[in-house]
Structure 1
Amino acid sequence: MVDITEVRAIDIHTHAEEPCGCHADDGYDDLQATMAKYFRAPWSHPPTIQETAAHFREQNIAAVIFPVDAERETGYRRYSNDEVAEIVAENSDVLIQFASIDPWKGKMGVREAKRLMRDYGVKGFKFHPTMQGFYPNDRMAYDLYQAIADEGGIALFHTGQTGVGSGMPGGNGMRLKYSNPMYMDDVAVDFPDMKIVLAHPSFPWQEEALSVAQHKPNVYIDLSGWSPKYFPDILVKYCNSILRKKVLFGSDWPMITPERWLADFEKIAIKDELRPDIIKNNAARLLGLME
């Protein structure tokens, strides 16, 4: 269990990847290599969960970690939620378990979500509408959302443009339209008791994301996927004012390291008294680690 009094920050957005070669049969390694080039990441293959834990432990930062299940749309075999949960349990001093279930799996996915929350204490689920090929307000996904809400779980959604498939022919089939954060407004209305996180500065829909997060009490924004030095002015203004309790530090590891993100965050115009909330306390409250 993470000791919230000991860590200096909580990274709400990190990715779990399998050891090198596990996806060689379906093109996933090629996708990862292209993404690494896009983000200028300093590795030839993503770090394993154990390597991730070691890095975050060295940095004294806790991390929410998850795989991404997009089997139907992409054909990429997923990293088993159970396997991820077992490795995370071995590193529970720094890692916090989220999971991912392709919403197209229907009732099978609902059963899995309930089991993961009850058996492993999974706190939330990552959705990537562009990779999974669905609009977040599609009623097809609502039984899965209901299962998450019933267990008090958190739903974290990719929003905005993505580095996934960027520069590949046809964007590797990724359709950006699915990740407009305005679709999350319906989800927030229909599941008012479920905590929802809109991941990333939502380019080119930043103002839509800010609007939904301001209007709906159950909606938060994580700041992952971009170096803070590239944040639009309006995002910084909202971080300093009406969304100061609803914005969360996230790196998007392994594409961006948490230490790089935090170093760049020090250089932007955030009020000093708000920095502890943004880098740790807001996430701690959302995750139920502090009041």
Structure 2
Amino acid sequence: MKIIDLHSHWGTARGYPLRRKETLELQKRNWNSTPSYMTEAEMAEYFVAQNVQTVLDFGFSKFASLSELRELHDYAFEVQRRYPEAILGHWVHTDPSLGEAALDELVRCIELAPRFIGLAVNGSGGAPASDASYEPLYQLCIQRNIPVLIFIGTTNQGSGLPGGGGVLLDHCHPRHLDAVAARFPDLQIVAGRPAWPWQAEANAVLIHKKNVWYELHGWSPKYHTPELKYEITHRLKDRVMFGADYPLLSYERLVGDWHNEGYDNETLERVFHRNAEAFLRSMGREAWI
């Protein structure tokens, strides 16, 4: 079945999401997988073999300097141009504390991006999505008609390290998603990740706020909470989209687990690609499909 993956990472050495020795050592515990690297060509071939088009996120780039960020984005777009059948687009991070430089880099990315482009906002290790410093970036996204990915729920970033690596889990509480969605009703938002331990709160935000969609990267569906599993076939059936978190989780494992949950083919088609297609059409972005 065709898959549009709304959130994964890079499997290459340059783009691999885990950068430090201590976090690489925790990959087995946190994701039940082991670190390995592919070339750009091998990564693209893997996506094609799995019938996947994916939106990639470096993740670690939110901590990069502006010069490093520009180099990473240029690398991302160059690889995408070489493998357009595999890479649909990118979520990019720009640190709002950089002020005008953050806006300039997002504009540059919008103008250079071959297809899908969106802003990623992850409160892990930084300000929560509701922080006023993001407002200029949100206004730019509205003006340019690009979506924002807001991460919710607990994170494996810092998990297992002393003090959780300084990460405040509360910065990804769904209350921040709710505040942004209410403050910016013209902003197209994708909530990222299952929201444990606040899944009921996240469901309430998604049901209440029409401008919020949902992708479920980072978790096998067998670990979704009962309230999330229920809403996937009920009130959120038209807004839940597939997210993988490759290379931390493989498509073989995730697709098998989705089938093993007993969802019918219509539900799987919605999750795997039809809802993502509807999301892109809702923004007038049919050319991105």
Shorter-chain-normalised TM-score: which range?
0.7 to 0.9
Q: Which residue of 2 aligns with 1:4?
A: none
CA distance in 1, matches of 2:145, 2:164: 35
Q: CA deviation at 1:143?
A: 0.4
- 1:274 equivalent in structure 2: 267
Go from structure 1 to structure 2 and tell me whether the alpha carbon gap of 1:137 and 1:88 turns closer, same or farther (over 3 Å shift): same
Q: Counterpart in 2 of 1:3?
A: none
- Please state whether the residue corresponding to 1:70 is helix, strand or coil: helix
Partner of 2:44: 53
Does the aligned pair in 2 maintain the 1:194–1:218 contact within 8 Å? yes
| Matched residue, 2:180 | 187
Distance 1:67 1:182 in 2: 25
What whole-Å deviation, never above 9, does each CA across 1:190-225 have from its counterpart, x for those lacking one? 221221111111111111111111111110111111
Relative to 1, partners in 2 of residues 1:37 and 1:88: Cα closer, same or farther, differing over 3 Å?
A: farther
Q: What stretches of structure 1 of length at least 5 have no aligned partner?
A: 1-6
Instruction: Check the 8 A contact 1:16/1:48 in 2, yes or no.
Output: no
2:145 alignment partner, SS class:
coil
Shift of 1:142: 0.7
Q: How far off its partner does 1:29 sit?
A: 4.4
Maintained 8 Å contact 2:16/2:58: no
Q: Secondary structure, in 3 states, of the residue corresponding to 1:164?
A: coil
1-side partners of 2:262 and 2:181: how far apart?
30
From the superposition, tell whether residues 46 and 186 of structure 1 become closer, same or farther in structure 2 (CA, over 3 Å).
farther
Alignment match, 1:150: 143
**Does the Cα contact within 8 Å between 2:241 and 2:271 map onto a contact in 1?**
yes
Cα drift, residue 174 of structure 1: 1.5
Distance change in 2, residues 1:176/1:279 (3 Å): same
Aligned CA RMSD, in angstroms, stands at 2.5
Say yes or no: does 1:140 pair with 2:133: yes
Secondary structure of the structure 1 residue equivalent to 2:260: coil
Q: 1:97 to 1:21 in 2, by over 3 A?
A: closer
Gaps of 5+ in 2: none
Structure-to-structure mapping, 1:53-202, within 5 angstroms:
53-68=44-59, 69-71=61-63, 80-98=72-90, 99-121=92-114, 122-131=116-125, 133-202=126-195
Percent identity between the two aligned chains? 28
Query: Residue type matched to 1:91 in 2?
Result: Y
Equivalent in the alignment of 2:232 = 239
Cα offsets for 1:49-89 (capped at 9, x unmatched): 443322111111111112122227x9xx6572121111122
Scaled by the length of structure 1, what TM-score is found? Answer: 0.87
- The answer to whether the 8 Å contact 2:121/2:150 transfers is yes
**Which one-letter code corresponds to 2:5 in the other structure?**
D
Residues 114 and 148 in structure 1, CA contact (< 8 A), matched pair in contact too? no
Render the CA deviation track for 1:227-265: whole Å, top value 9, x for unaligned. Answer: 111111111111101111100011111111122111100
- Is contact 1:106-1:141 (8 Å) kept? no
Measured at CA, do residues 23 and 185 of structure 1 come closer, stay the same or move farther in structure 2, by a change above 3 Å? closer
Question: In structure 2, do the counterparts of structure 1 residues 22 and 158 end up closer, same or farther at CA, with 3 Å as the change threshold?
Answer: closer
Kindly indicate whether the alpha-carbon contact (under 8 Å) linking 1:161 and 1:179 is maintained by their aligned counterparts in 2. Answer: yes
Match among 13, 33, 37 for residue 19 of structure 1: 13
Cα–Cα, structure 1 residues 58 and 208, in superposed 2: closer, same or farther, change >3 Å?
Answer: same
Report the AA paired with residue 7 of structure 2. H
The aligned amino acid for 2:4 is I
For residues 13-48 of structure 1, the C-alpha deviation after alignment (integer angstroms, 9 at most, x for no partner) is 101365269999xx63432332344212133x4545
Rounded to whole Å, the distance in 1 between the matches of 2:94 and 2:38 is 22
Aligned length: 278
